[in-house]
């Protein structure tokens, strides 16, 4: 009786452990990146979707999203505003800021 009980427990742990090992964790935010505020996210969306098309292609968001597939939840190859906002909420979208004096300083 004890042997059957021990075997059942061991089998349950083995199966349960396998199920946990197969789960895919959510993509982690970029190390050191801070989650954008809703205002920052909306502002970035408006800047990137200047044509007001309602969606953004991967090339448009490439500097801001390191894992496009994680944000493109319906896998249609473009981001809707809802997908973009959800990506912001998860910390997967980052704002890029120009730094240093090198901006617009080309010799004319």
35 or 22, greater pLDDT: 35
Helical ranges in 1-80 per DSSP H: 2-21, 38-48, 58-61, 68-71
Q: How far is CA 97 from the centre of its chain?
A: 19
% pLDDT > 90, the chain: 53
Residue written as token pair 């993509």: 27
Is the pLDDT at 44 greater than 80, yes or no?
yes
CA–CA separation, 94 and 29 (whole Å): 9
pLDDT at residue 102 in the model: 39
Task: Spell out the domain ranges in the chain.
Answer: 55-95
Q: Mind listing the pLDDT tens digit for each residue in 74-91?
A: 999 999 999 999 999 999
pLDDT band at 21 (very low <50, low <70, confident <90, very high): very low
């Amino acid at each position: 009786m004890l042997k059957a009980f021990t075997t059942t427990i061991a089998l349950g742990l083995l199966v349960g452990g396998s199920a946990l090992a197969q789960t895919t964790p959510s993509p982690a935010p970029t190390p050191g990146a801070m989650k954008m505020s809703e205002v920052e996210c909306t502002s970035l969306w408006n800047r990137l979707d200047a044509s007001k098309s309602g969606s953004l292609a991967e090339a448009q968001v490439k500097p801001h999203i390191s894992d496009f597939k994680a944000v493109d939840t319906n896998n249609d190859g473009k981001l809707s505003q809802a997908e973009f906002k959800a990506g912001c909420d998860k910390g997967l979208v980052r704002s890029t800021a120009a730094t240093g004096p090198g901006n617009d300083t080309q010799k004319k």
